[in-house]
Amino acid sequence: MTVTRFAPSPTGYIHVGNLRTALFNYLIARKTGGQFILRIDDTDPERSKEEYVDAIKQDLEWLGLTWDRIERQSARLDRYAEAADRLRDMGRFYEAWETPTELDLKRKKQLNMGKPPVYDRAALALSEDEKTALRSERGNGVWRFKLDQTRIEWADGILGNISIDAASVSDPVLIRADGQVLYTIASVVDDTEMGVTHVVRGSDHVTNTATQIQMITALGATPPSFAHHSLLTGPQGEALSKRLGTLALRDLREQGVEPEALLSLMARLGSSQPVELRMSLDEVAEGFDLSQFGSAPTKFDVQDLFPLTARKLHALPFADMQDEIAALGVPVDKAELFWKVCRENITVRGDLAGWWALFRDGAEPLIADEDRDFIAQAMGLLPDGPYDAESWGKFTAAVKEATGRKGKGLFMPLRKALTGQERGPDMGDVMQLLDKIPAKALAQ
């Protein structure tokens, strides 16, 4: 059975970049009837916060990306310690005492000599006496995994065949001097013990994958299939990393973006398939194909979410909006017409309140100087409400008759005077929702 996981660290809110990872893994499981695990990577007790765990769950639930199982790394520390012991017993794990400043200096020297800044494994050459001395002087060291200096190869689900020379990679630190287990080993143990078959994550993890493949193999397991999706950039190709903070899913939700819009865009963006609005995760899953995604950075423009959001709203039947419309204070007898009038003139649900305010309180009329007399004359011909489906036709016919205006010269100034806008819903419909707009226009 296919098993995938989404493994966020609860150190902040999840954003569009994380969503891509979550969604790809979710869809792979969904398409094959497999399992999707939500794994909370909370081995860092200082930076991990419970409020972020709750926020991550809320965001995923909002999108319908529900998980079959939830796992927490903080509850599995004994498993990681056991794996560390096994690596130690195999001679694949060694303690090192360089300070960050010393490591930095080494890196600078290597770069100056035109060499890649790879950890020089000096700690491997330490005698037992030297280690004892360092331990008493500096306390515990960090623990590094000793890579086999061979080529590490895998068939990446997106990048194709990858081959990385392990000698060009530093032996990764798996346990910090304070004993904190790091993600690299925790992830290996979890993926192995939880039977994860497919891992999709960002291409910033490619080097991790290389080292993790060696760890998994050393621990006697078979690596899952790996795929690395490209990272998102801004619309101009600019790095998005700094702006991701403003692209948190909860901010998008706050701005009125509909889940279907986000899912439809993110499941296709960066692939050779067109972005089309899909109304359910099943439909999104249907055409999803990892092999259609490219390795080039993917341009993301938050503005693309709004036309999709609008399209989703246009498609909603009145029944789905009834409660929301009632909550705005729209009277029951006007509610269905209100939705008919508004649905094609909103981008986000929040726009409905503005339309209702306009119908209820009247708009600030928009009247060009040259239309002042015309509007005054027209308003004199406006009968008292309430208005019905015929009212607009009768009213404009009378205005045409009295002023001789026709076409755009007739309709546009009236629309602007009554709604304060140049564009908008059919005026025959609008008129039926008006009680007080004319009052404002009349006052001009």
Number of residues that bind ligand GLU (CB under 6 A): 8
Decide if residue 285 touches ligand GLU (CB under 6 A): no
Of 164-183, which residues contact ligand GLU (CB under 6 A)? 183
What residues does 142 pair with on adjacent strands? 96
**CB closer to ligand GLU out of 92 and 201:** 201
3-state secondary structure of 92: coil
- Interacting span for ligand GLU (CB under 6 A) from 1-9, 164-172, 258-266, 393-401: 1-9
**CB closer to ligand GLU out of 54 and 390:** 54
Decide if residue 425 touches ligand GLU (CB under 6 A): no
Residue showing tokens 């004892």: 132
Q: Are 62 and 249 in contact (CB under 8 A)?
A: yes
Q: Which residues contact 320 (CB under 8 A, 6 or more apart)?
A: none
Sign of torsion over alpha carbons 339, 344, 347, 353: negative
Measured CA to CA, the distance from residue 245 to residue 310 in angstroms comes to: 24
Q: Are 18 and 55 in contact (CB under 8 A)?
A: no
φ/ψ (deg, to 5) at 93: -135, 130
Decide if residue 41 touches ligand GLU (CB under 6 A): yes
Decide if residue 157 touches ligand GLU (CB under 6 A): no
Of 51-70, which residues contact ligand GLU (CB under 6 A)? none
| Amino acid at position 324, single letter | E
Q: Least Å distance between CB 74 and ligand GLU?
A: 13
Measured CA to CA, the distance from residue 256 to residue 148 in angstroms comes to: 51
**CB closer to ligand GLU out of 146 and 205:** 205
Of 175-234, which residues contact ligand GLU (CB under 6 A)? 183, 187, 201, 205
Of 315-344, which residues contact ligand GLU (CB under 6 A)? none
**CB closer to ligand GLU out of 8 and 270:** 8
Q: Least Å distance between CB 430 and ligand GLU?
A: 50
> What is the C-alpha R_g of the chain?
31
Q: Least Å distance between CB 128 and ligand GLU?
A: 36
Q: N- to C-terminal Cα distance for the chain?
A: 72
Among the listed residues 3, 7, 87, 378, the single contact to ligand GLU using CB under 6 A = 7
Q: Least Å distance between CB 71 and ligand GLU?
A: 12
Among the listed residues 9, 391, 396, 432, the single contact to ligand GLU using CB under 6 A = 9
Decide if residue 48 touches ligand GLU (CB under 6 A): no
Measured CA to CA, the distance from residue 157 to residue 164 in angstroms comes to: 16
DSSP-derived secondary structure for 334-373: HHHHHHHHHGGG-SSTTHHHHHHHHHHH-PPP---GGGHH
- Interacting span for ligand GLU (CB under 6 A) from 5-13, 78-86, 353-361, 392-400: 5-13
Binding residues for ligand GLU, rule: CB under 6 A, are: 7-9, 41, 183, 187, 201, 205
